[in-house]
Structure 1
């Protein structure tokens, strides 16, 4: 449901028109009132008075009064304003409250601001319920037993929370048991199984902040995992990866070159960290409760163990042809135990026979294994005849998983709030242990460098501006020239989505081998015959080894000078081959799509900042509390007015278009090195 992703409307925060109208009405209202009816405190103090506000007043608030998509009750405020029912006697009090609502760390607020929030706790509960993280972070609540008891009484009647707000309450800053229990309850009620998988990585990391192993969050995850095998499948591998990582880095004098099972057998409680034991207990509880699928999970674990052994042995061979031959010989000897099973990456896929002649060693530094299985589902073979996976050993894949996970959340928010599909190609990346994992291969795709190399005989080291447009026209229009416009539209939307996502996340190192074109063709069933559509190409990015603005440098010089990648090659495709593409309607429309996608995420900036602040516990080298400040800049959290954020992003967009010469230069040197 759309509201579960943070609201079904775009939040123009703060809405200047509503606030100005309300302030204007307040001035007129004050002039009409007699001077003897005014007092120093105003009606807001009367509203928050303990004597004048009893339980019956709280119960007057019904669920229908709470609007999803209205982050801080602005729509409710608009209705009450039009009805001439004052909430505050001074407009500056309302503005001050909304300014405090944007505070990312309430512990930095002054004691006066904290008292201001506490005095208006009932107003916040009734009309601004999504401000709970700001209110709960005030130290004044926890200093006295009376304030804490009053806060607990208010929590019992708190209106529904959005998923974004509830997840923020699971951060380590919020240690109170009742507060975290409330957040888990709202998440359990709001998320179905598909939506739970969307946030599963975040919730698993939030277990680190729980005080007890058997917390409400753990109970909820175990119950939902045992009720839905897809959730349980993902939870199994996430927990196993956490255990392997903690075993390697979370325990003193802990050997790192032995398997997880043997390590747990050789070590006892005093040598293992409490966090490791917490994840281990949860892992064991799931395995004991999931006896029906335990054999399938064991077979997947054996597959990963076998691939780890093969990868370690093959990496020592520098000869590519010899490595491929050795891999195929080893796979032939172990063929029976590596086929006819559920895919470790996705529980909805089944792996059939292993196609050994298509398995090979890739040419990157870590020599990952490219593996191909036949699809055992007969009807599914029409669109996906094979399942292809890449097994990688030696790289920490958690950063790639996190980047794709956040992009998946962005895509879900765009679809729910804007009803707009940005055609994102978000492949699966799943760590399976310490520096090992699987990557799902996107079928029918090529890198920009591969496309460039196809025309190497006639092209220079510089990519021709018209190269991609010619490639798309050739692929999409071999049988039906009308498909070209559909291809360009799909390409344009996917490019807009990745421009916004890579800008916000600060993804760098965007050369031709990290940008790909994939087929998004469809199969139509009509009157008992199949009609395969032509290629519908869309763009997507891979390899997220540098995020949050961490750039590569050469001789101390920053190689990447633009905030995201948008070159003339792409704009030439968007404008359908027009040479003056920067003055076309298609260019302006593309810029508007990028701006619309950015503003949608700008309105949800607090959630993404809180998300990455929670993910700092993963220990990724490029993710620390200092790096989270980069998100505040890209999401423009300091710009309260929507039009200010729009103007700033459009300026960044124009700067990127003007600075594409630096991208051309980087791509030229990449071509020189690899051609």
Structure 2
């Protein structure tokens, strides 16, 4: 009996390694296009490869299978070529070999650049050529080592199973292949020699041939040149072969057009493994039959009942699991609905458990032991975004009377109730009345879209009644949004207060306070003005009814009719400003002409802006009473929307400058400013004053709004004017003190350090993007602040943007990274971050109430908005770990080079525009 030689191989399903490919080089040439043709064809003249035989190209690689892409494309970084197109770059694709199907292939496309675009263009990129490389050969072995791929000029690699851009051209065997003069008689000597050299090269790579570095390099270069020559020779022979096949074959399919590669050859390298890798399909586990979850730790010690003994009917024999005869008699059928829904047995079990503890007298005196108490404490510490398991809900229900003394347990209790069960819901409402007072953050959570029971929402409103006007103003924007989740019937003739305790509460408080009423009025008006598909007609009708009942309630109050006339005057004032702003935006005039137009409009007494009698509460800040405009201090800005800056006289004898803008939805900026004000209030309660100065913003419609103008200068403007360490020079000019630190007044430098810390932490938590030196502002007294919040929740139009904007200009103004002021800045950042993490539930609940507010960056992924904010808090970490993580983020942001390049490029572009 012959003895078999030992062999070893690996299966692809066990290869948990990402698919990788090394783009080596592109070799080839083509006849250049005549210059006369380039002059006549601008679409060809600006193509990079038509200007230089070594023009810059980049390569994208994407995994395909079954004529469908499996991954996103991965591309090579930018590289400048001098004499040859050579990348030598490894690319890693986001998929493992273990998950690849048998027909997986790599679609490799080389991209050229053309500002005019063209066929198959993606922006300014047009396909230079493409090739499709299979990952497994005909023997189902994984390709490895260097591969030379034919490139199909001006085509993008399609990746289909019947690809038109194959990397390897197969030999066609047809009729007459054995006759003289047929394709089989054509011998490609160059290709055979090159194949022999490639076999030797592979042996060298596997260590079978000794290495001699200097000689190896010379040999490699000769092999590459021979490979290119062999490819060109092979291409010519392939063309002859196809012609002969078409003539010799009577089969009509033989004359089908075959993809013809160009004279370019792309060399790539695939990873090498110690053993051959053979394709093996991944075996996925069977789908779940039920949604049974693990028992909680308190229930894990329960005795499991033994399997009952089944009595079979007459003539029926038992089929055991290990019975060999069972295979042909037992058919297992998977029902997908069972895995998608609750197991009926488990649902019934939970109902039985609840019924035992629904009206039991002993439940009121039931106390948890130490182990269960720890588990309850763990449940109460969950953030609002955490979902409770069925076992955790049962545990909370069981000890509900014990938990009534813990305010943080209320929201978890409400989540554990099955409100569809009328009996259980009635029992839960009784328990709810015994609960201790809760915090505002929990009350706001109960007003969210997930809690529809009117008794629960009324309980939350009961807590809000204890808040004063200043505190209520911090959450008013979200409370107006929460009206969407109330049971308000727009067509009902009865007062809205009969349908909704929240609406009744807000109207009552808005009627009694001019400040609350002012903002409540404008928040509701903007919702009525929102006619987008996201808002919906039902929501607009709800807000229309609320606004009507608000005005009706005003008429019933002493002095209410005067307040109603005030709101009407404010609306007329906004309408007039909108008119002139719209005219200026649409006018095709210079900035000077636009400014003169606005000044003339404001000075015209017919427009009733130069004098306001009686004084009008400013909608942006109703505590300020304005008496008229100051036309000569008007400025029209150069941006695309041309906002106008108007100064108004006040009853206190001061001036109040503001900016009015049309054509832009300011609701996202308004939300960010409101959250910053809230965070400032939370920090102040922790005795941490970070000198925050959030300017006021009010959206008066979905396309217009007001913002407060704060005298300041952008870091870009300061840098252009003062040069090196510009921020420090700017502050020295405005707040000099030769005896103070760094030549500044101590108060000014302290204000700068504190406000930098506050805004760095807050903008990091909110994920504010598009940060550059033009929207970092500095006031003469040292107050640092951000402007323009068009990108939040981690969105950023610039690539590789840091998660925190901490620039060198800011640190230099503190004295550098080794200064005492920078160390103090870091301490303020750590204190602020820790304080805000303690109040993370409040901030998360405020964002959860805004998911349906039609805020641009929230409506992109409304189900993920709250989680994006939660991730910035890193609640899974301890306080010490979270601070260390924040410190690393600060160091990475300060040392990153990409933001510096972006700031400089932005400055150049802005200078070019002006």
SS of the residue corresponding to residue 372 of structure 1 reads strand
Give the superposition deviation at 1:311.
1.6
For 1:513, what is the secondary structure of its paired residue? coil
Corresponding residue for residue 294 of structure 2: none
1:635 aligned residue: 873
Report matched runs for 1:197-596 at 5 Å: 197-212=473-488, 213-214=496-497, 215-246=500-531, 250=535, 274-285=541-552, 288-289=555-556, 290-318=560-588, 319-334=590-605, 337-338=608-609, 339-340=611-612, 341-378=616-653, 385-416=654-685, 418-442=686-710, 444-455=711-722, 459=723, 464=724, 466-477=725-736, 481=740, 484-519=745-780, 536-553=781-798, 558-560=799-801, 562-574=802-814, 577=815, 581-596=816-831
The match for 1:14 is none
Deviation per CA, 1:361-380, whole angstroms, max 9, x where unpaired?
111111111111123314xx
Distance in 1, matches of 2:573 and 2:643, equals 15
RCO greater where, 1 or 2, for CA within 8 Å and sep 6 or more?
1
Q: SS in structure 1 opposite 2:361?
A: coil
1:435, CA displacement in angstroms?
A: 0.8
Please list the CA deviations of residues 622-651 of structure 1 after superposition, one character each: whole Å capped at 9, or x if unmatched. 102223221121011333x32222222222
1-structure distance, mates of 2:392, 2:535 = 40
How far off is 1:276 after superposition?
4.3
- Asked if the contact 1:358–1:372 (Cα under 8 Å) also holds between the matched residues in 2, the reply is yes
| Bigger Cα displacement from structure 2, 496-505 vs 350-359 | 350-359
Query: Shift of residue 246 of structure 1?
Result: 4.1
Tell me, in whole angstroms, the C-alpha distance in 2 between the residues paired with 1:272 and 1:608: 24
**Structure 2: 5+ residue runs without aligned partners?**
1-355, 489-495
* CA distance in structure 1 between the partners assigned to 2:391 and 2:863 by the alignment: 27
SS in 1 for 2:658: strand
Counterpart of 1:419 in 2: which secondary structure?
coil
Q: Distance in 1 between matches of 2:597 and 2:739?
A: 45
Match of 1:600 among 812, 835, 845: 835
- The equivalent of 2:904 in structure 1 is 668
- Whether the 8 Å CA contact 2:510–2:517 is kept in 1: the answer is yes
For the pair shown, the structure with the greater C-alpha radius of gyration is: 2
CA distance in 2, matches of 1:393, 1:248: 21
The alignment of Structure 1 onto Structure 2 pairs a total of residues equal to 535
Q: C-alpha deviations, 1:191-245, integer Å up to 9, x for none?
A: 1111111111111111111012431111111111111111111111111111111
Is residue 595–residue 635 contact of structure 2 (8 Å, CA) maintained in 1?
yes
Q: Does 1:148 align with 2:425?
A: yes
TM-score normalised by length of structure 1: 0.75
**Normalized per residue, which structure has more strand?**
2
| 1:353, distance to aligned residue in structure 2 (A) | 3.0
CA separation of 1:277 and 1:399: change in aligned 2, threshold 3 A: same
User: Would the alpha carbon gap of residues 164 and 672 (structure 1) be closer, same or farther in structure 2, given more than 3 Å must change?
Assistant: same
1:615 corresponds, among 850, 866, 887, to 850
Instruction: Indicate conservation of the 8 Å contact 2:765/2:869, yes or no.
Output: yes
Report how far residue 313 of structure 1 moved.
1.5
**Structure 1 position 407, deviation (Å):** 0.8
Q: 1:286 deviation in Å?
A: 5.1
1:136 to partner: Cα distance = 0.6
Could you tell me which of 109, 116, 120 is aligned with 2:399? 120
| CA-CA distance at 1:494 after TM superposition | 0.4
Secondary structure of 2:856's match? coil
Q: Distance in 1 between matches of 2:684 and 2:803?
A: 25
- Counterpart CA distance in 2 for 1:248 and 1:175 is 23
Counterparts in 2 of 1:643 and 1:250: CA distance versus 1, 3 Å = closer
1:345 is displaced (CA, Å) by: 0.9
**Aligned partners of 1:350 and 1:321: how far apart in 2?**
30
> Which stretch of the first structure deviates more once superposed, 482-491 or 496-505?
482-491
Please give the secondary structure, in 1, of the residue aligned with 2:874: coil
- Structure 1 unpaired stretches of 5+: 1-45, 59-86, 253-270, 379-384, 520-535
RMSD: 2.6
Q: Give the corresponding residue for 1:129.
A: 407
The aligned counterpart of 2:66 is none
SS in 2 for 1:512: coil
Distance 1:96 1:228, change over 3 A: closer
Length-normalised TM-score, structure 2: 0.56
Contact kept? 1:508, 1:547, Cα under 8 Å: yes
Q: CA deviation at 1:96?
A: 5.5
